[in-house]
């Protein structure tokens, strides 16, 4: 089995700790970045198998700006990108998906189903 890499963009330490604990049961490398700029640089150097990104990221590039940069870059435009956000209204979801995210996970996450959901995204990659 191929060991997968997930890049998670999250600027809240409590959420980073939570994702680390929940996802450690999956056999994968998990990389965290706290800013959109650092994440974009990382992706260009070493594209992960899956990107999970908060929408409200502190700094110059938020999640929506980041996905637009990813989708406009020929090298990384096909990266599987999932938004994780507290924006839960239908118009928010539509805006996030139309910006270029492949899917959407609402916060607060369901800790029981979150690992299975992430594994299903990875399984679809082949």
Residue 88 pLDDT level (bands cut at 50, 70, 90): confident
Q: How far is CA 12 from the centre of its chain?
A: 14
Question: Rounded to whole angstroms, how far apart are CA atoms 63 and 56?
Answer: 6
User: Across residues 96-110, what is the average pLDDT?
Assistant: 95
Query: pLDDT digit string (tens) for 93-102?
Result: 999 999 999 9
Delimit the domains of the chain by residue range. 4-124
Tell me, yes or no, if the pTM score tops 0.85.
Answer: yes
Provide the CATH topology of domain 4-124: Rossmann fold (3.40.50)
């Amino acid at each position: 089995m191929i060991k997968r890499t997930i890049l998670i963009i999250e600027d809240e330490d409590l959420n980073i700790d939570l994702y680390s604990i929940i996802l450690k049961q999956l056999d994968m490398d998990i990389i965290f970045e706290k800013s959109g700029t650092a994440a974009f640089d990382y992706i260009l150097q070493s594209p992960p198998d899956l990107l999970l990104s908060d929408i409200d990221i502190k700094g110059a590039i938020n999640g929506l700006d980041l996905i637009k940069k990813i989708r406009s870059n020929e090298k990384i435009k096909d990266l599987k990108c999932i938004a994780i956000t507290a924006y839960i209204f239908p118009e928010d979801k539509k805006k996030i998906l139309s910006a270029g995210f492949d899917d959407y996970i609402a916060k607060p996450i369901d800790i029981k189903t979150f690992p299975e959901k992430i594994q299903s995204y990875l399984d679809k990659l082949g």
